[in-house]
Structure 1
């Protein structure tokens, strides 16, 4: 179990990146994938929505997956928020691991024990199990 201090450090590290990705970004304003994307935009964070079925969301060009995003960015300088069902989250985590992405925030509902175990074993700087960028991000 993570201590508050460790979680605070992980959040600080997460927000030290120069670019952000929202996997599971949605064009539907009531979905969390849209709310989280708009949070990054409202807080002037350079962000890319990741959605294989959309061309753009909220005026931003979508990338179909993390691999296409990373082709233009340094993997060490990208933090990823994931808002997908756990079954999909696991494949996203595997892709992130292959790309060398370490800063990952599983938004509430995107994680299960298998996802958390995989990310921890892969050595990711994982935020999960409760904190949400919509709640915890503003404090930063």
Structure 2
């Protein structure tokens, strides 16, 4: 498990956020975790007045927010924290993109990681940037935001 309290605070301290895995169709997701988390994670950022962008390869708008197709389309990736709610196969590609774009912090929600992902994180010097293997941002986020 990775993700110190300082890492989580740094994640939530960024001026911009993105949610990968958000969808208009709240019944169509790749994993059981995504079914429950995706709409709620996007809503969490919106309800806390955060500048959030959903990322989806096909949708142009999700929950009233303009969506982008890929992390590469983020207007300011070096100041954007990314919540990842995808299956591990998709997560791996996202981590590669995030590293190339200089994204400062990622929070892999439950179900987004596996042994391959953890190995990639450790082998690519991302351990200080990626929170994984623990609770969802929905569980810890509100208390952490209150302390910022």
Normalising by structure 1, we get a TM-score of: 0.89
1:119 is matched with 121
Does structure 1 residue 79 correspond to structure 2 residue 81? yes
Stretches (4+) displaced over 3 A: none
- Alpha carbon RMSD of aligned pairs, Å? 1.5
Gaps of 5+ in 2: 28-34
Which structure would you say has the larger RCO, counting Cα contacts within 8 Å and 6 or more residues apart?
Answer: 2
1:139 is matched with 143
Separation in 2 of the partners of 1:120 and 1:41? 32
Separation in 2 of the partners of 1:114 and 1:67? 23
TM-aligned CA deviation for residue 28 of structure 1: 3.2
Superposition map of 1:35-114 within 5 A: 35-69=40-74, 72-73=75-76, 75-114=77-116
Separation in 1 of the partners of 2:122 and 2:14? 20
Select the residue among 6, 10, 13 that pairs with 1:9: 6
Q: How many aligned residue pairs are there?
A: 134
Moved more, 28-37 or 55-64: 28-37
Counterpart contact for 2:19–2:54, Cα < 8 Å: yes
For 2:95, what is the secondary structure of its paired residue?
helix
Gaps of 5+ in 1: none
